[in-house]
Chains A and B, each alone.
Chain A
Amino acid sequence: MATVWFMIVAVMVTAYVVLDGFDLGAGAIYLLVAKTADERRMVLRSIGPVWDGNEVWLLAAGGTLYFAFPLLYASSFSGFYLPLMMVLWLLMLRAIGIEFRAHIENPVWQGFFEVIFSVSSALLAIFLGAALGNVIRGVPLGPEGYFFEPLWTNFRLSDQPGILDWYTVMTGIVALVTLVVHGALYVAIKTEDPVSRRARGIALMAWPVQFFLTCTGLVATYFVRPEVMSNYKAYPVGLLVPIVVFASLATIIWAIPKGKDSLAFIASSLYITAMLVGAAFALYPVVLPARKREFSLTIENTAAGAHGLSVGLYWWTFGMILAVGYFVFIYRMFRGKVRLDGEGY
């Protein structure tokens, strides 16, 4: 049962990164991809009706994590106290950046909120990547299942690491570049030239960095945490994951020059999914590795009671069917290229 919930949480986190990922990426490239007032409105409208719903996946994944693995939630949230608080502030700034900008037609007002929106989007991508890096690298858990990480110590891998060391800085940058490509491809689909042409250009320029960092990141992960290979050795079917990673990277670079934006976007979504599934596969059954291996949190020692977990399966299934239904409906309502008539953003 705990394994089922491990997979459910992994699926929800993946859905969050794929969905909110494109609006974070669109935000990060916002100032580069859109120059005139109309172009900027076009980009904002491409994510306007959906960004809030996308962000709910983070809350729903967090709530599900809390419900299924209370100790993991308690331990990781208090241990990552400072960066999570900063994530909260960035989420606030991004939301008011996008929502408050359009209320006043004044270039100073709008320029201010555009910078707020774009910078907070880019920083969020880096923070989320660094968070994932911390989970893979392991944290200084004590015997009670708690820890506290300062923002940084000496940027090396030690028994008392900070949130930021060379490895997590790297995963942060991997996340930023990945979401830049992802967001640029989404913008290319939803907008018209010259914005979509510029977006394709950004994706093409970011792709080599993404490719290089993916290779480096995979090697570095093996160096940081050799145990990541054990599940792959035990179950060679897991080796499909790196195959999908590189196949989708190849598809992206093949599809962009041909103007097949949707195919490239799907490949980018697949790349993100494969990277996250690969990480989850490598960790299982550990959910938060400790620097001292015996203190690691696993699905068994953090899961909620069996009755609660099986009850949850009923309402979760029901709620998920509804949620997916809403999403299909909303994305269909706002399908196609964005239009620039009327009010709003």
Chain B
Amino acid sequence: MDSALIVHRLHFAFTVTFHYLFPQLTMGLAPLIVVLKTLALKRNDPIYNEAARFWAKIFGINFVLGVVTGIPMEFQFGTNWSHFSRFAGGVIGQTLAMEGLFAFFLESAFLGLFLYGEKRLSPRAHLWSAVAVFVGSWLSGFFIIATDAWMQHPTGYFVAADGSVQLASFWQLVLNPWAWWQYAHNMSGAAITGAFVMASIGAFYLLWGKFVEHGRIFVKVGVIAACIASVFQLFPSGDGQGRMVALHQPATLAAMEALFEGQPGAPLVIIGQPNVVERKIDNPILVPKMLSFLTYRRWGAHVQGLNSIPQDQWPDNIPLLYYSYHIMVGLGTIFIAIMVVSVLLLWMGKLYGAKWMLWILMLSLPFPYIANTAGWMTAELGRQPWLVYGLMRTAEGYSKSVSAGNGMFTLLGFLGMYTVLGILFLFLVRREIENGPVGGPASH
């Protein structure tokens, strides 16, 4: 395989994976901060304002990282994937430009106001600035998902005389059914991260015995939100997303499940290691007929296997795709279990005293990040070998004029830069958590 291709793929994969650690918390926390601000206004209790201010500080640090690691994503479409941009810019330029116009301006303008304008604004106006940041971040999510959804399942385009694709229908582009399922699934994934992080920090305060009043609010808001989002993540959003894949990317579905031999009443693999050379699963633990049911709602339905698909159309890293998918689904199931139990305990009034549950909540913090990352890896590895499904292969899309050596140079630069950024982020956030939710409003 061409080494420049590998470098450009790693370049995008690394920078986007690191980037998405931050927006998922931004998008997940934003609605929760709105909830806290609303509670402060309704109950007229300053403790909710202190809680909101604390999360605004974390949000602010996180947001900076999201912005500075996000700019390279837009640039890389041109720098590292110029043949793809030339081919598809006439269509996905629409959604990417709209993100700048409708989401970034809104978010950036009101974030400064939200973080530093509390003294200058009335409580109600300050709540509205939080709502504006929330709407901006969720719009941003939509335009990126619409772009990715077009690459997964192209709609609303035509192939022009020069071989590039151009926009045929704006509404088919933004109303792509794939985009709406993926958006629902992705945003509830982000909500899970935000809610788990909030519950986790709250549990830490309760176990520590410091900032207990705030800790209870964090745990309460966190587990309720996480419970709703975790269930929504499985059904309907995960189910709907899965059926999109089954309908439009049968090779992807077969590879996610490592189903080599197509069959009626296909089983669901719970655990097992795909053996691509011998085209089987080692050490499988199966649920009979479950895959057929989940995909087609019929126990005996036939599910296509990889064997009936030409091998040059198989995703090029089946084991990694299979594991990503199974990690995502496995963690998602555990999230539901944790949060349903937590909400029951909360309802019975026992959660704040149940140390064992608080320990679980506290230690669960990294897992939504892992699940979201695994989910994106499933989507992007599953789309291979295509860059735009059925239209352009990944091997055709990278910048031919940028050599492997130049790509490696900047990849190493990003590795170094992001290591520093990651350390700074953890250091500053740890400090804020230790200082706790105290202090008055910030201002300019």
A interface residues, Cβ below 8 angstroms from B:
45, 48-50, 52-53, 55-56, 59-60, 62-64, 66-68, 70-71, 73-82, 84-85, 88-89, 91-92, 95-96, 99-100, 103-104, 145-148, 304-305, 307-308, 311-312, 315-316, 319-320, 322-323, 326-327, 329-330, 333-334, 338-339, 341-345
Proximity string of chain B (413-429) to chain A, C-beta cutoff 8 Å, 1 when within and 0 when not: 10001000100100010
Q: A70 near B85 (CB under 8 angstroms)?
A: yes
Q: Which of the residues B94, B101, B399, B410 comes within 8 Å of A323, measured between beta carbons? A: B101
Q: B85 near A74 (CB under 8 angstroms)?
A: yes
With A59-B100, A77-B78 already in contact, the answer to whether A103 and B167 are too (CB < 8 A) is no
Q: A81 near B79 (CB under 8 angstroms)?
A: yes
A70 cross-chain contacts in B, Cβ below 8 A: 85-86, 88-90, 93, 164
Per the 8 Å Cβ criterion, residues 390-443 of B in contact with A are 399-403, 406, 409-410, 413, 417, 421, 424, 428, 431, 439-443
Looking across the interface, which residue of chain B has its beta carbon closest to that of A146? B401
Q: A320 near B101 (CB under 8 angstroms)?
A: yes
B77 cross-chain contacts in A, Cβ below 8 A: 66, 73, 77
Task: Give, as a whole number of angstroms, the nearest-CB distance from A146 to chain B.
Answer: 5
Q: B64 near A311 (CB under 8 angstroms)?
A: no
Q: Which of the residues A81, A305, A311, A329 comes within 8 Å of B399, measured between beta carbons? A: A81
Q: Which of the residues B99, B104, B166, B421 comes within 8 Å of A308, measured between beta carbons? A: B166
Looking across the interface, which residue of chain B has its beta carbon closest to that of A312? B94
Q: Which 6 A-B pairs have the closest CB atoms?
A: A70-B89, A77-B78, A305-B166, A67-B93, A319-B101, A308-B167
Q: B106 near A75 (CB under 8 angstroms)?
A: no
Q: Chain B, interface size: which category?
A: 35 or more
Task: Give, as a whole number of angstroms, the nearest-CB distance from B318 to chain A.
Answer: 31
Q: A330 near B79 (CB under 8 angstroms)?
A: no
Q: Which of the residues A64, A81, A89, A334 comes within 8 Å of B100, measured between beta carbons? A: A64
Looking across the interface, which residue of chain A has its beta carbon closest to that of B88? A70
With A74-B85, A77-B79, A322-B105 already in contact, the answer to whether A330 and B97 are too (CB < 8 A) is no
B108 cross-chain contacts in A, Cβ below 8 A: 52-53, 55-56
Task: Give, as a whole number of angstroms, the nearest-CB distance from B408 to chain A.
Answer: 12
Q: A92 near B421 (CB under 8 angstroms)?
A: yes
Answer yes or no: B75 CB below 8 A from chain A CBs.
yes
Task: Give, as a whole number of angstroms, the nearest-CB distance from A84 to chain B.
Answer: 6
Question: In the complex, A134 Cα to B97 Cα: how many Å?
Answer: 25
With A322-B106, A343-B439 already in contact, the answer to whether A68 and B86 are too (CB < 8 A) is no
Q: B79 near A96 (CB under 8 angstroms)?
A: no
Q: A60 near B97 (CB under 8 angstroms)?
A: yes
Question: In the complex, A49 Cα to B108 Cα: how many Å?
Answer: 9
Answer yes or no: B109 CB below 8 A from chain A CBs.
yes
B99 cross-chain contacts in A, Cβ below 8 A: 63
A338 cross-chain contacts in B, Cβ below 8 A: 444
A323 cross-chain contacts in B, Cβ below 8 A: 101, 105, 109
Q: A66 near B444 (CB under 8 angstroms)?
A: no
With A71-B86, A304-B93 already in contact, the answer to whether A92 and B68 are too (CB < 8 A) is yes
B110 cross-chain contacts in A, Cβ below 8 A: 326, 330
Task: Tell which of B113-121, B184-192, B204-212, B300-308 binds the partner.
Answer: B113-121
Mind listing 15 A-B residue pairs with CB under 8 Å? A48-B116, A53-B108, A59-B104, A70-B93, A73-B78, A77-B75, A78-B401, A92-B71, A92-B417, A312-B94, A327-B105, A333-B120, A342-B442, A343-B443, A344-B116
Task: Give, as a whole number of angstroms, the nearest-CB distance from B175 to chain A.
Answer: 14
Question: In the complex, A98 Cα to B329 Cα: how many Å?
Answer: 40
